[in-house]
Structure 1
Amino acid sequence: MGDNSVFAVVGPGAVGGLFAWLLQRAGHEVVAVGRPATVDAIRRDGIEVRSQLFGNGVQRVRAETGIPEGASVILTTKAYGLDDVLPGIVSARPAEVISFLNGVEHMVPLRSALPDVPVAGASVAVSALRASTTVIDHRSPFVRIEAPEAASGFAAVLALTDAGPSVRVGGSEAEVLWAKFRLLASLALLTSYWRQPAGAALSEDPELTEAVVSEVVACSTADGVPASELDLVRALRSVPGGMRTSLQEDLAADAPSELDALGGALLRIGERHGIPTPALGRILTALGSNA
């Protein structure tokens, strides 16, 4: 794939927009692929990032509603957006696809639709919010990407490493995805259930928090990625107490959310492996899930 790769960032929201901005700034050929209104705004205004880590500035990023044929695809939509963009990815016959979707269930449909294309699931730890369609506030003092060993030669992984984020490559895809999924699902479901920031949500009902941790770890272990309840508790305690999750914000706004990709997925995994998930079921029922 080499130096001539075109990188198509599909879903130029907070994370995707930041990736596109960083890649453009580093001199790579980037296309932001989004809905017509988003494309029009990026064509008009460029992408502006405000970041203590990378500085402030505007990058003029090419924007299209379709993926250029043969591009290296960096998939950064919300999990529920996969069905909408998958046909366009398939028709573009991409050189490779690296997905940053949350959860663990999206890789099967991705691979099934792209049997002859190198596909990898990765994760990113970052706090970034869209102040407007084209303005991104990068709030965390880091952008940490985790990619599986199988993606070590992907052009997108090499380009993102060059562009500024901290990139660690290693382990299996399942290990990479579950490492983020365990923390994100536990935190997002509890903050949404209690309608409180992280600190208050985790301490509101210690027995419920403990039960959620236990069920998430049991699902991870049964799915082939052994995990420790103590490690997950430590990770949850390291989260800033005032942090709110995008799931709770989306649910509060009655907007499309990743509730099914996070909570629903855990219920399905538990059922598949015979793992009881009463605490997770209680939370999903309260949040109105149809999972």
Structure 2
Amino acid sequence: MRIAVIGAGALGGTFATLLEKAGHTVTVTARGKALDVIRSEGIQLTGGFGDVTARPTAVELLTETPELTLVCTKAQDAAAAITANAAVIDGSPVIVVQNGLDGVTTARRILPHSDCFGALSIIAANYAAPGLVTVTTPAPTYLGHGSGDIDAGTLAWQGVLDAAFPTIAIGNFVGAQWTKLVVNMLNALPAVTGLSVQQVVDDDGLRRILTASMRETVRVGAARGVRFGALQRLGDRRLRGFAGLPLSIGQLLPRLMRARMGDVPNLGSTLQSLRRGQLTEVDHLNGVVVREAAAAGVAAPVNTLLTALVHEVEATGRPLTPAEVLVRFAPLRLR
């Protein structure tokens, strides 16, 4: 099958490599040095899915209509990337692999003739350099379509992807996006401090802030009438229970997530963006919690401050120490 992957970062590079290994003809879009490296050396994938080198066709913009397109850009780059390739891909199936809540909606708006699906990946992968990706935690990718039950299209594409990397078809994809948003609260504090996710969870003070941000996200989702989807042993009942526990007990959830990661440092996608000198997608993670809280008429002080701190580090280039972070959060009543 002819498959295009828009965006050759950590996840795009992982998927492109594994899809080519599974026998598909893969084209990736990239820019600048990444485009040159992939053209000359291919993509080298190491870590959790084994050591594989792929030689996909690398282009700046697609010129031929693929049978399937995966959009794997950062959330803030999705609209521009999809628009740039719309003339070629509109009318063919598209799977948006993205954090946040808006990816599939954005694709449907720009590609009115395409059947657009969403995918949520729990894979932890580090973009070490252009064309070099290390998977620190292999995990399934969850594929879905809207708010209803699993449909035939989802099952068909699940079969294609699952032959290359573990893929699970799910219903209530919109609810699962909210569950992934809770999981993605792991990203902000590593970006603010420069620490790995594991180091953040191991720090008592930072773990309390992390837990509070996750619980706040659940409460905002509940205020918006969300039924959280099943993802990585999390679902509506468990998340609502987590949000109602005392904060001291709620910290068990990030501890369990940390245990599943192992000890290979997980930098988180937001910190990786900062280290590459790129803008982060924090406005589509913690920032979208703030947006949805405003729509529900409730407050989201923890995520408001986390969003501001990530933007501060973007602007200054200087991470904060854990002690400095705790001082910033001291006026808030974490719960």
Q: TM-score range by the shorter chain?
A: 0.7 to 0.9
> In the alignment, is the contact (CA less than 8 A) between 1:70 and 1:94 conserved in 2?
no
> In the alignment, is the contact (CA less than 8 A) between 2:194 and 2:271 conserved in 1?
yes
Aligned to 1:144: 140
Within 5 Å, which residues of 2 pair with 1:49-60? 49-51=45-47, 53-60=48-55
Shift of 1:207: 5.5
Aligned to 1:12: 8
Matched letter for residue 276 of structure 1:
A
Within 5 Å, which residues of 2 pair with 1:122-271? 122-140=119-137, 142-148=138-144, 149-150=150-151, 151-155=153-157, 157-163=158-164, 165-184=165-184, 186-199=185-198, 201-202=200-201, 203-204=204-205, 208-223=209-224, 224-226=226-228, 227=236, 228-231=239-242, 233=250, 234-240=252-258, 243-251=266-274, 254-271=277-294
Shift of 1:246: 2.5
TM-score normalized by the length of structure 1? 0.85
Per-residue CA deviations over 1:124-148 (Å, capped at 9, x if unaligned) read: 11122233212222222x2311112
- Structure 1, unmatched stretches of 5+, are none
Shift of 1:229: 4.8
Per-residue CA deviations over 1:210-235 (Å, capped at 9, x if unaligned) read: 53233100122233224425457444
Residues 210/135 of structure 1: CA separation in 2 closer, same or farther (3 Å cut) = closer
Shift of 1:14: 1.6
Tell me which moved more, 24-33 or 225-234.
Answer: 225-234
Per-residue CA deviations over 1:160-189 (Å, capped at 9, x if unaligned) read: 2111x22111112212212211111x2122
TM-score normalized by the length of structure 2? 0.75
Shift of 1:42: 1.6
Matched letter for residue 192 of structure 1:
A
- Matched residues, number: 281
Within 5 Å, which residues of 2 pair with 1:86-101? 86-92=82-88, 93-101=90-98
Matched letter for residue 124 of structure 2:
S
Matched letter for residue 171 of structure 1:
G
SS of 2:98's equivalent?
coil
Shift of 1:36: 4.9
Shift of 1:198: 3.3
> In the alignment, is the contact (CA less than 8 A) between 2:270 and 2:282 conserved in 1?
yes
In 2, distance between residues paired with 1:147 and 1:210? 27
> In the alignment, is the contact (CA less than 8 A) between 1:213 and 1:229 conserved in 2?
no
Q: CA RMSD in A?
A: 2.6
> In the alignment, is the contact (CA less than 8 A) between 1:72 and 1:94 conserved in 2?
no
Tell me which moved more, 236-245 or 275-284.
Answer: 236-245
Shift of 1:199: 4.9
Residues 64/249 of structure 1: CA separation in 2 closer, same or farther (3 Å cut) = closer
- Structure 2, unmatched stretches of 5+, are 145-149, 229-235, 244-249, 260-264, 315-335
Shift of 1:284: 2.3
Aligned to 2:61: 66
Aligned to 1:280: 303
Aligned to 1:116: 113
In 2, distance between residues paired with 1:82 and 1:134? 20
> In the alignment, is the contact (CA less than 8 A) between 2:10 and 2:126 conserved in 1?
yes
Tell me which moved more, 226-235 or 74-83.
Answer: 226-235
Aligned to 1:105: 102
Percent of matched pairs sharing the same residue: 21
